[in-house]
């Protein structure tokens, strides 16, 4: 009875050891390579206009290959073109003001002001002489020759003529000195403001053209001609063709057989006889629970490490999310 129990225990131990060995070595092939399962991964770019507007033109469709700098879409810019014309006119007005202040007063304007001042001085001299004569007559005749009202009128004419002379003298001085430094600085600042407004409109017109930032493949066309778009609404989704990699997950035992820079073969289910060469370019240093996308169900709850195998795929044979088999060539455990 005891021998039967001992034999049973030994059989259980052997079964456990054999199962463990099979679990950790079932992905090894006869030639020493390691087989893992994963999916193709590609970076994506969502393209949107920087400003709102109505889409006027779309130049590409889903699946088309685009080059860096290629125009993909344009917005209607009629209103921006009108604003640009207004900004250009305002800028010209400000520039002319600055030019006039820098050039200063023309000689003809100064000559004209001097002539006006001379006329005012003549009028002042006449009014002063008239006032003196009336004062003499008024004092010598005790107010019999002229009335007090006439004398006051002469005084008023003399004061008005004197004020006009001061005004003309001040105007002539301003013309000779030109604009104040503060006024010139203010005019230049207004010119800079007008130039900045024009530059902003030019920038908005330039950004009304959507171009591809990289070489890529159009994955989705999300809007159509006539749609109103904003910066929060992508127009296209682009899939970057380079770099392209396969994401797989390896447990701790398998991790010892994977080396940076190691070669690998990517096998597709549709064409198993045409593997694509790849190279290990990333090995995570942090363990994580196996994602649900991993095909082997029995290790989904295990701690694994992410591994990326970068591939050159000029013919775009690998599609995003495609499940593939990865054979890591000549994998050797330390």
Give the integer Cα–Cα distance in Å for 46 and 194: 35
Percent of the chain at pLDDT exceeding 70? 78
User: How does pLDDT run across 2-21, given as a tens digit for each residue?
Assistant: 555 565 565 666 554 544 44
Which pTM was predicted? 0.56
Give the integer Cα–Cα distance in Å for 116 and 80: 49
What average pLDDT does the segment 165-188 reach? 73
User: How does pLDDT run across 198-232, given as a tens digit for each residue?
Assistant: 999 999 999 999 999 988 889 899 999 999 999 89
What average pLDDT does the segment 103-118 reach? 71
pLDDT at 48 over 70: yes
Give the integer Cα–Cα distance in Å for 245 and 324: 11
Give the integer Cα–Cα distance in Å for 203 and 67: 23
What average pLDDT does the segment 128-149 reach? 77
Strands (E), 129-262: 209-211, 216-221, 228-229, 236-250
pLDDT at 92 over 70: yes
User: How does pLDDT run across 269-303, given as a tens digit for each residue?
Assistant: 888 888 888 888 888 888 777 665 555 555 544 78
Q: What is the pLDDT of residue 102?
A: 61
Give the integer Cα–Cα distance in Å for 40 and 325: 10
- CA-based end-to-end distance of the chain: 45
**Cα torsion at 83, 89, 91, 97 (round to 10°)?**
-150
CB 47 within 8 Å of CB 69: no
Tokens 């003298």 -> residue: 169
pLDDT at 67 over 80: yes
Q: Which CA distances in Å does 169 have to 5, 120, 164, 333? A: 131, 9, 9, 103
Give the integer Cα–Cα distance in Å for 268 and 272: 5
pLDDT band (50, 70, 90) for residue 24: very low
């Amino acid at each position: 009875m005891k021998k039967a129990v001992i034999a049973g225990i030994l059989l259980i131990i052997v079964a456990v050891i054999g199962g463990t060995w099979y679990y950790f070595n079932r992905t090894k092939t006869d030639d020493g390579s390691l087989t893992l399962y994963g999916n193709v991964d590609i970076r994506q770019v969502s393209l949107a206009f920087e400003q709102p507007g109505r889409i006027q033109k779309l130049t590409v469709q889903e699946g088309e290959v685009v080059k860096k700098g290629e125009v993909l879409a344009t917005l209607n810019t009629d209103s921006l073109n009108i604003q640009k014309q207004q900004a250009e006119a305002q800028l010209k007005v400000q520039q002319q003001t600055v030019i006039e202040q820098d050039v200063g007063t023309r000689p003809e304007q100064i000559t004209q002001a001097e002539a006006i001042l001379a006329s005012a001085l003549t009028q002042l001299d006449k009014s002063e002489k008239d006032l003196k004569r009336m004062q003499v007559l008024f004092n010598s005749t005790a107010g019999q020759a002229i009335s007090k009202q006439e004398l006051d009128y002469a005084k008023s004419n003399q004061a008005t003529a004197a004020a006009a002379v001061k005004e003309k003298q001040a105007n002539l001085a301003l013309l000779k000195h030109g604009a104040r430094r503060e006024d010139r600085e203010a005019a230049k600042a207004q010119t800079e403001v007008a130039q900045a407004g024009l530059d902003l409109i030019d920038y908005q017109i330039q950004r009304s053209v959507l171009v591809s930032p990289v070489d890529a493949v159009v994955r989705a066309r999300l809007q159509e001609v006539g749609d109103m778009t904003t910066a929060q609404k992508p127009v296209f989704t682009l899939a970057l063709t380079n770099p392209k990699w396969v994401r797989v997950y390896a447990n701790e035992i398998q991790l010892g057989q994977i080396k940076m820079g190691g070669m690998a073969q990517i096998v597709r289910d549709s064409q198993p006889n045409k593997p694509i060469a790849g190279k290990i370019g990333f090995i995570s240093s942090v363990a994580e629970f196996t994602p649900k996308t991993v095909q082997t169900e029995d290790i989904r709850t295990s701690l694994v490490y992410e591994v990326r195998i970068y591939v050159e795929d000029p013919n775009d044979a690998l599609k995003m999310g495609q499940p593939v088999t990865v054979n890591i060539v000549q994998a050797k455990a330390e």
